[in-house]
């Protein structure tokens, strides 16, 4: 591991100033992802800016139209917060699937959203893949069983944040401070750059600080399911979140999002529109039709075609869970 300096920021502005005061400044939250990347020599940081002391960023609170979750709230807090759990059971379920209790106790919401690729070519220190500035995605025609079914660029590394998938279905907004101004991003905005640009994992630029995520109270029913190789301590092969409001027993503003199959939470407007106004007590055939719409344009690679039936099953099950 290369030597680095360490500083603690006491305000978002000082965090940005500190990070930009050196060539490779990086924010350090729970450290679960960043420290591993540093140890493997995959990220070069000469200054770690500890953001955990930033005041007010660990709060979870209800505001008039929804809930505000500070970027420093831990994944365990999101999992266990009674008010959040009652309002958004799908979000609590997504948090409960993250890694292990030990990791959830220190992993933060901001760090979870900004975590880097799990692609094993990217994570291999001796492989200069496209995501690290090389000229080739080794996974595209190589060992690609964990990779994307959808992508907008030659890199096939998927976004694996469980929270991002639940937030996408709930139409949550990430508030990001860039040069003193607050930007409000949907989850699609948060990962859009990764869809287009193989070098990035998300749309954050150096110095951008996630300060909170706002979740509107529009969708009172939500569910989250993921399929992994291991029961715990593992990322999802495929994850799925569904959420909806209810109007007279019918779905109002339904949303479905899939994770681990695209550089961003995968959503299809056609599926959401199809479900609008359908009875909450959905039958299996209608849920299957919605799932088909979501996966219609999937482009499996040589070794990950198995993800399609898993995704179809998760969508159906998540939609049926909205009834209870
Ligand atoms: C075995 C294992 C299994 C896992 N399974 C899952 C899973 O199923 N689902 C899942 O979602 N995750 C999973 N994870 C990943 C884990 O949840 C993330 O590594 C963790 O949430 C990162 O949070 P952190 O606070 O530790 O981030 P850090 O490691 O501190 O930071 C991660 C990145 O985010 C940046 N960052 C941190 N905070 C901010 C901020 N406020 N603004 C801007 N940038 C910021 C950092 O600079 C860094 O680049 C797993 C991890 C392990 C080890």
Looking at residue 2, what is its pLDDT? 82
Select from 114, 179, 194 the residue to mutate for testing ligand 1; criterion: most ligand atoms less than 8 Å from CB: 114
Residue 321 has pLDDT above 80, yes or no: yes
Looking at residue 182, what is its pLDDT? 97
The ligand 1 atom at the shortest distance from the C-alpha of residue 114 is 34
Q: How far, in Å, CA of 269 to CA of 183, rounded? A: 24
pTM: 0.98
Looking at residue 231, what is its pLDDT? 86
Closest C-alpha residue for ligand 1 atom 50: 99
Looking at residue 125, what is its pLDDT? 93
> What is the CB < 6 Å shell around ligand 1?
26-34, 51, 71, 75, 97-99, 103, 107-108, 110-112, 114-115, 160-163, 204, 209-210, 233-236
Residue-wise pLDDT for 4-60, tens only, equals 999 999 999 999 999 999 989 999 999 999 999 999 999 989 999 999 999 999 999
Ligand 1 centroid vs 9 CA: distance in angstroms? 19
Residue-wise pLDDT for 205-216, tens only, equals 999 999 999 999
Residue-wise pLDDT for 289-307, tens only, equals 999 999 999 999 999 999 9
**Do the two domains 1-54 and 60-114+157-321 of this chain adopt the same fold?**
no
3-state SS assignment for residue 213: strand
Residue-wise pLDDT for 244-291, tens only, equals 999 999 999 999 999 999 999 999 999 999 999 999 999 999 999 999
Residue 63 has pLDDT above 90, yes or no: no
Take residue 278 and report the two structure tokens written for it.
């359908």
Long-range pairs for 185-193 at CB < 8 Å and ≥24 separation? 187/257, 187/264, 187/265, 188/264, 188/265, 188/267, 190/113, 190/164, 190/264, 191/159, 191/164, 191/263, 191/264, 191/265, 192/264
CA angle 234/199/195 to nearest 5° reads 75
The mean of the pLDDT values for the chain is 97
Identify the CATH number of the domain defined by range 60-114+157-321.
3.30.390.50
Identify the CATH number of the domain defined by range 1-54.
3.30.43.10
Which residue did the predictor score with more confidence, 176 or 232? 176
Q: Where are the domains of the chain?
A: 1-54, 60-114+157-321
Concatenate the DSSP letters of all residues of 227-280 into one string.
Answer: E-SSSSSS--SEEEEEEEEEETTEEEEEEEEEESSSSS-B--HHHHHHHTT-BS
């Amino acid at each position: 591991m290369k030597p680095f300096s360490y500083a603690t920021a006491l305000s978002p502005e000082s965090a940005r100033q500190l990070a930009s005061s050196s060539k490779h400044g990086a924010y350090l939250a729970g450290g679960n992802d960043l420290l591993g990347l540093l140890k493997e020599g995959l990220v070069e940081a000469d200054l770690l800016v500890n953001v955990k002391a930033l005041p007010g960023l660990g709060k979870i609170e209800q505001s008039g139209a929804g809930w505000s979750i500070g970027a420093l709230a831990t994944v365990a807090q999101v999992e266990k917060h009674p008010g959040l759990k009652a309002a958004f059971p799908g979000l609590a379920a997504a948090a409960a699937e993250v890694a292990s209790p030990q990791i959830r106790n220190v992993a933060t919401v901001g760090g979870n959203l900004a975590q880097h690729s799990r692609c094993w070519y990217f994570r291999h220190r001796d492989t200069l893949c496209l995501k690290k500035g090389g000229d080739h995605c080794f996974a595209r025609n190589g060992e690609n069983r964990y990779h994307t079914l959808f992508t907008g660029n030659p890199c096939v590394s998927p976004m694996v944040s469980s929270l991002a998938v639940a937030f996408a279905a709930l139409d949550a907004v990430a508030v990001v401070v860039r040069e003193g101004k607050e930007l409000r991003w949907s989850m699609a905005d948060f990962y859009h750059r990764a869809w287009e640009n193989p070098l990035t994992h998300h749309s954050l630029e150096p110095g951008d600080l996630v300060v909170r995520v706002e979740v509107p109270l529009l969708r009172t029913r939500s569910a989250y399911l993921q399929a992994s190789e291991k029961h715990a301590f593992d990322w999802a092969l495929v994850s799925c979140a569904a959420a909806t409001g209810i109007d007279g027993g019918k779905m109002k503003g339904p949303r479905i999002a899939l994770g681990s199959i695209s550089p961003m939470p995968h959503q299809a407007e056609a599926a959401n529109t199809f479900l609008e106004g359908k009875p909450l007590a959905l039958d299996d055939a209608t849920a299957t039709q919605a799932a088909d719409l979501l996966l219609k344009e999937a482009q499996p690679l040589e070794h990950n075609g198995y993800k399609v039936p898993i995704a179809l099953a998760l969508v159906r099950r998540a939609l049926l869970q909205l009834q209870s």
